[in-house]
Chain A
Amino acid sequence: MNDAPATAARATHAPAGESILEADEVVKHFGGIYAVDGASLEVTQGSITALIGPNGAGKTTFFNVITGFYRSDGGAASFDGDPILGRSPHRIAQLGMVRTFQITKALARMSVLDNMMLAAPDQPGEHLLGLITKPRAVRRREREVRDDALELLEGFNLAKLADDYAGTLSGGQRKLLELARALMTKPRMLLLDEPMAGINPTLGRRLLDHMQRLRGEEGVTFLFIEHDMEVVMNHSDRVIVMASGRVIADGTPDQVRSDEKVIDAYLGAHSGGTGNGGGARPAAPEGGKSR
């Protein structure tokens, strides 16, 4: 698998069909609000899995917890066998689970190429000691990384913008850049937060094609949060549904589409009847001041 082109993902321990991400009763609360209230799920290696749910269901918070950006308040999670709750974000990314953000974080005042080269792993020049002791290895890796980056940009039709500041790109181009940049890290799994939001259908189609290709050729697993039901139903293998901080359904798109609990959750959120609908529940007040 690894004399493949430079964009090959790293080998995983779990062969296709086994779970690569497991979460068990993950909890996250802010003061009195339980944004994630015992969420458990499994993602199969090599799958394209969608995470859906009404607004406030806790999807992005869940992402933040398992990628280390929020400290969890309970539960456990493991990635490819390694426990990940409580680890720092950069360690989790180094393990091979890389995320993108709902609002793209293109590094605006750096060039597109710099954005890409930044993401490449195993560059001794990123450490002061490496700069001093291995200058030739640093230069050699820079050349490799540059080639990889340009090749990847080519695949996303962004190569001509390589020297432009990332801040000058359009919204859709930034989304592509963020995806391409994430791919530079040679991830085993990509967590995409609303990848289709705000980009036109053509670009969206191209993104989905890329995802399918990466899954097929490189074995990259995808878990993405999405609100666009067409994308979810027609382009994902499995769908996981969250509401009120918990996972309420998990199956193929067809199974989920006709699941009553799912319909209730969405309807409840839309009718606005019972207050929170699909949103987070407030907890019992803790000792000390509220306000």
Chain B
Amino acid sequence: MTEGLIGNTDLVLGFSLDAFTDVGFWTRVGVTAGILTIFNLGLQLNVGYTGIVNFGQAGFMAIGAYTVAILVEKESVPFLLTIPIGIAIAIAFGLLVGLPSLRLRADYFAIATIAFAEAVRLTAQNARGLTEGNQGIYGFDSEWDNISETIEGWLEATVWSDPDQLFPLLLVVWASVTVLTLGLYFLQKTPWGRVLRAIREDEDAARALGKNAFAYKLQSLAISAAIGAIAGMFLALSLRFVIPSEFAPTFTFIGYAALIAGGLASYPGVAAGAVFISIVYEAPRFLDIENEESVRFILIGLILILLMAFRPQGAFGKREEMVLGE
């Protein structure tokens, strides 16, 4: 196919590369990457630093998002107040899920947490009185819009004359990423973090030294739930609506792809992996590929498989982290 090879990339590739120069695309990717990073900071705490395989993170994300949406839109609760409420509810569910299932073996725990996330999604779909089912909830972001416009105003006045509409969200998301990463990083260095790492290494050794491994795992899950809820709230703001399909367990699988790609037990890895997977995730949308949703998940699935087969430690991790079977 030599004709049209030069100067007509559309024809050869079947899709357009123009998106890659579009600021809107990169802002979008940046927002998704930030949300995914927050999502994965929770997963990293669980998998990378405590050794528990939490597959229910999307459920906590949904709880955070839906709490904000429902309280703002239906109960007229001030937006900023809904944030700590959503976090508190997610923590409560984290404890609720963890209590019966954290004593179980890793793959049973994984199943239990997926079941939880599916149950959340099903409830969102079917409890129409509460969640509007598949129609979703709109309009809860008006207060955020005000905040966003204020930030835009500052930017226009100081740095940039025409920021993309999503840019304020981008800033807030990544500011949160920084705060959370620093917080978790320092938490890791405390005696509490030391016990967590010991539990990851060898739970029985930790117990033989007087540490209540179960309680620590529960705390890890609860913190991760809170972080997941924050990610969910940002996702809700970026989409401007909440519907069940955006909070399906599949999102957790995307999270794991990003987590593994970046490398377990590595903080730079979390962000790097998230950026990489976000590009893969958003690209089909902008490249005008047909059936973009399918393509994006096929790619992510392939990435997971290939990573596991050939480089389980990801970009920044060490091989031993992964290969040691449970």
Interface residues of A (CB under 8 A from B): 67, 69, 88-90, 93-94, 98-101, 105, 107-110, 114, 117-119, 121, 123, 125-128, 131, 138, 142, 181-182, 185
Contacts and interface: CB of A to CB of B under 8 A. Distances in A.
A114 B194 contact: yes
Given A94-B210, A109-B197, 5 more contacts: A107-B201, A108-B201, A118-B194, A119-B210, A138-B190
A131 B190 contact: yes
Interface stretch (B25-33, B36-44, B211-219): B211-219
Query: What 9 A-B pairs are tightest by C-beta distance, nearest first?
Result: A125-B191, A105-B205, A93-B210, A107-B201, A89-B207, A94-B210, A126-B191, A90-B207, A119-B209
B190 A90 contact: no
6 contacts: A69-B204, A69-B207, A105-B202, A105-B205, A107-B198, A123-B191
A65 to B, nearest CB: 14
Contacts, number: 82
A181 B201 contact: no
B320 A131 contact: no
Given A109-B320, A110-B201, A67 B208 contact: yes
A37 B205 CA distance: 27
Interface residues of B, number: 22
Among B191, B201, B212, find the residue whose CB has the most chain A CB atoms closer than 10 A.
Answer: B191
B52 interface: no
B192 interface: yes
B212 A88 contact: yes
Contacts of B194: 110, 114, 117-118, 126
A215 B195 CA distance: 29
A101 B192 contact: no
Given A105-B204, A107-B198, A110-B197, A185 B209 contact: yes
Nearest to A145: B191
A125 B192 contact: yes
Contacts of B320: 109
A165 to B, nearest CB: 10
Contacts of A93: 207-210
A67 B210 CA distance: 11
Contacts of A138: 190-191
A272 B206 CA distance: 39
Contacts of B219: 128
Given A108-B201, A118-B198, A90 B191 contact: no
Contacts of B197: 107, 109-110, 114
Contacts of B198: 107, 110, 118
A213 to B, nearest CB: 22
B192 A127 contact: yes
A47 B206 CA distance: 26
Interface string B158-202: 000000000000000000000000000000001110110110011
A251 B205 CA distance: 32
Contact of B202 (A69, A98, A107, A119): A107
Given A90-B213, A138-B190, A126 B204 contact: no
Contacts of A182: 209
Contacts of A117: 191, 194
A118 B197 CA distance: 10
Contact of B212 (A90, A98, A101): A90
A71 to B, nearest CB: 12
Contact of B211 (A90, A101, A105, A125): A90
Contacts of A100: 208
Contacts of A108: 201
A89 B201 contact: no
A89 B204 contact: yes
Contacts of A88: 207, 212
Contact of A99 (B190, B195, B208, B213): B208
B201 A101 contact: no
Contacts of B201: 107-110
A27 to B, nearest CB: 22
B218 to A, nearest CB: 11
B208 A101 contact: yes
A131 B321 CA distance: 28
Nearest to B219: A128
Nearest to B209: A119
B209 A98 contact: yes
Contacts of A118: 194-195, 198, 206, 209, 211
Nearest to B196: A126
Nearest to B320: A109
Contacts of A126: 191-192, 194-195, 211
A69 B204 CA distance: 8
B22 to A, nearest CB: 43
B201 to A, nearest CB: 4
A286 to B, nearest CB: 24
A88 B206 CA distance: 12
Contacts of B204: 69, 89, 101, 105
B208 A89 contact: yes
B26 to A, nearest CB: 37
Contacts of B212: 88, 90
Among A94, A118, A127, A185, find the residue whose CB has the most chain B CB atoms closer than 10 A.
Answer: A118
Nearest to B213: A90
Among A94, A99, A117, A119, find the residue whose CB has the most chain B CB atoms closer than 10 A.
Answer: A119
